[in-house]
Amino acid sequence: MTWALEQNLLAQVYVGSGLWVSQADSRVSQHIDPSHMSDVVRVRGPEALLGWPEAPIKVLLQGESAGLDRVRGELEALMRWEPVRLLRSHADFLELVHRYAGKSVGLQAAARALGIAQNRVLAIGDAETDVDMLEWAGFGVAMGQATESVKRAANAVTETVEQDGAARAIARWVLGFGQ
């Protein structure tokens, strides 16, 4: 973590029900304001940021896209034997999560709890963090603005967010309109 902070990256560590951040700045607000998480955010200095009372759920590094690409390559080499996946969820986010964590795990649990067979599940996504979910679902749909790797993981591609792609996908593949 110290290494990431030395690279001028903002570190956001999800610990229990809290969010520990390396500094309070506009990048933190960009991430937490839409999530309504401001009441659980705690600013921690570099030393305190490493004093987790339990294993973190996720570590999110935020910085410039090109810098994150470089950092990702270095972290992948450093952590190749660790049970960690590195994923991009936005151009300026690099997420570190446990190898077996992902949206597919939650989707599978929800489907099981609701008694819905895997082949009846539709998932819609647009980021690298959605790939496991799109692959697990009976029918995966990538948004039009998704990267090529996300589109390859899906069964179909819909329009962009600006073109109401998710609503159009639901109308077409769930409700049967526009076929």
- What pLDDT score was predicted for residue 11? 85
pLDDT at 36: 58
As a whole number of angstroms, the distance between CA 132 and CA 143 comes to: 15
Residues of the chain with pLDDT under 70: 1-3, 29-39, 46, 179
- Indicate whether 11 and 31 sit together in one domain: yes
User: Which pTM value belongs to this model?
Assistant: 0.76
47: which strand partners? none
Same domain membership, residue 112 and residue 36: no
- Look at residue 132 in the predicted model and tell me its pLDDT: 94
pLDDT of amino acid 1:
64
Residues 85, 111 within the same domain = no
Tell me, yes or no, whether 57 lies in a domain.
Answer: yes
Residues 114 and 160 occupy one common structural domain = yes
CA distance 140 to 137: 6
pLDDT of residue 32: 66
Are 87 and 107 in a shared domain?
A: no
Same domain, 126 and 68: no
Torsion, Cα 73 79 15 129, to 10 degrees, reads 50
33, amino acid identity: D
Residues 6+ apart with CB under 8 A from 116: none
Q: Is residue 42 within 8 Å of residue 23, measured between CB atoms?
A: no
Tell me if 134 is assigned to some domain: yes
Q: Domain of 94: which CATH number?
A: 3.30.1240.10
Same domain, 25 and 83: yes
Q: Tell me, what's the pLDDT at 35? A: 61
Q: How high is the pLDDT of residue 152?
A: 97
Each residue of 128-151: pLDDT tens digit? Answer: 999 999 999 999 999 999 999 999
The domain in which residue 88 lies consists of 2-98
Q: Phi, psi at residue 117, to the nearest 5°? A: -70, 145
Place of tokens 């077996």: 100
